[in-house]
């Protein structure tokens, strides 16, 4: 995690050299671990920088699979005229978590690389942040573009059924504002509550087995009615099931210069990494309940 963060914890505003550097790094890491990489490149007008080029990074374990567990975050950082904003929790750490996940789980994921029924897809959205003021047109640039594109392109299943690419998303797990010392997660959507509870249960099992780095629970067995605009919205509007892992309340350092490496708590973040690995393993049927302690204790 630490080494990966060294390559992402820099200002990465769309259209800058730092942004290009991080985009190239993420894509190269995905290719390094044997993933198919697609760069969803497009241009769109912005309120203060004219027309900019955006690049969503899409890593897929098996592009021919019919359905996907999608894990996503954004990799751009917010523009401030007065300073170079780092955005450690927003969202450099989530990017590093996703890359860490496929590295640690490489051998497990290799076992299902050719499976056609269900696979894993990682999406690193570009242009989540507003350049001037958060509006429907100045925010979520990458998510809006990709959701529309996936809704307008098709895929033929093994049964020769013609479906939209967006229908291939079983569930989207969106990570945001993660990396500081006291994150708290809740279930935001009733349709995915049962999957959120799997995260709660996984964390509790880790705690009972003494496998958490520090004995601190972050997944609450409660729901929240908070409405948070994030990269999931364009997909939610197209009926994609969403599991939103964003800390509420937001960290006090949110959108300030203090959201930098100094607030990153690697022990807490690694706890969340462990929970995510279990969730992915269970969702992709890499891990049955009775195999949990035997197969995963050493790896975690």
83 beta partners: 80
**Percent of the chain residues topping a pLDDT of 90:** 94
Higher pLDDT pick, 281 / 292: 281
Helix or strand holding residue 266 (H, E): helix 266-283
Per-residue model confidence (pLDDT) at position 289:
47
Q: Which one, of 140, 180, 190, 172, lies nearest residue 245 by Cα?
A: 172
* pLDDT over 80 at 287, yes or no: no
Query: Would you state the structure tokens that stand for residue 207, as one six-digit string?
Result: 């705690």
The pLDDT tens digits of the residues spanning 32-65 come to: 999 999 999 999 999 999 999 999 999 999 999 9
> In the chain, what are the domains?
2-296 (3.40.630.10)
CB of 94 closer than 8 Å to CB of 178: yes
Per-residue model confidence (pLDDT) at position 131:
98
* pLDDT over 60 at 298, yes or no: no
**Percent of the chain residues topping a pLDDT of 70:** 95
HSE at residue 213, side-chain half, CA atoms within 13 A, is: 14
Q: How far apart are CA 145 and CA 167, in angstroms?
A: 16
Cα–Cα distance list, 141 to 4, 17, 19, 286 (Å):
25, 19, 15, 34
The pLDDT tens digits of the residues spanning 136-188 come to: 999 999 999 999 999 999 999 999 999 999 999 999 999 999 999 999 999 99
- By annotation, the residues acting in catalysis are 128, 176
Q: Which one, of 265, 278, 264, 263, lies nearest residue 211 by Cα?
A: 278
- Report the pLDDT averaged over residues 101-122: 97
In this prediction, residue 296 has a pLDDT band, given cuts at 50, 70 and 90, of: low
CB of 158 closer than 8 Å to CB of 106: no
* pLDDT over 90 at 297, yes or no: no
The pLDDT tens digits of the residues spanning 217-268 come to: 999 999 999 999 999 999 999 999 999 999 999 999 999 999 999 999 999 9
Length of the chain: 300
* pLDDT over 80 at 96, yes or no: yes
Helix (H, G, I), strand (E, B) or coil at 69: strand
Per-residue model confidence (pLDDT) at position 288:
58
DSSP character for 89? I
């Amino acid at each position: 995690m630490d080494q990966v963060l060294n390559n992402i914890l820099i200002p990465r505003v769309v259209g800058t050299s730092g942004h290009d550097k991080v985009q190239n790094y993420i894509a190269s890491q995905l290719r390094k671990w044997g993933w198919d990489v697609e760069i969803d490149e497009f241009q769109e007008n912005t309120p203060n920088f004219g027309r900019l080029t955006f690049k969503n990074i899409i890593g897929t374990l098996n592009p021919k699979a019919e359905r996907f567990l999608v894990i996503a975050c954004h990799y751009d950082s917010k523009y401030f005229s007065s300073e170079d904003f780092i955005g450690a929790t927003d969202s450099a750490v989530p990017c590093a978590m996703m890359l860490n996940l496929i590295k640690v789980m490489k051998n497990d994921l290799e076992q299902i690389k050719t499976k056609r029924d269900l696979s894993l897809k990682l999406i690193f959205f570009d242009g989540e942040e507003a350049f001037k003021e958060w509006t429907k047109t100045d925010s979520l640039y990458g998510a809006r573009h990709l959701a529309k594109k996936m809704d307008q392109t098709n895929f033929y299943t093994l049964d020769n059924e013609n479906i939209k690419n967006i229908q291939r998303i079983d569930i989207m797990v969106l990570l945001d504002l993660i990396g500081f010392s006291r994150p708290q997660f809740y279930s935001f959507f009733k349709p995915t509550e049962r999957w959120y509870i799997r995260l709660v249960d996984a964390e509790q099992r880790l705690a009972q087995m003494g496998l958490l780095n520090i004995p601190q629970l972050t997944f609450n067995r409660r729901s929240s009615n908070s409405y948070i605009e994030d990269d999931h919205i364009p997909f939610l509007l197209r009926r994609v099931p969403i599991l939103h892992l964003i800390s509420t309340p937001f960290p006090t350092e949110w959108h300030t210069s203090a959201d930098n490496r100094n607030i990153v708590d690697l022990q807490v973040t690694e706890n969340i990494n462990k929970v995510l690995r279990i969730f992915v393993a269970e969702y992709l049927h890499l891990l049955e309940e009775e195999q949990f302690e035997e197969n995963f204790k050493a790896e975690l």
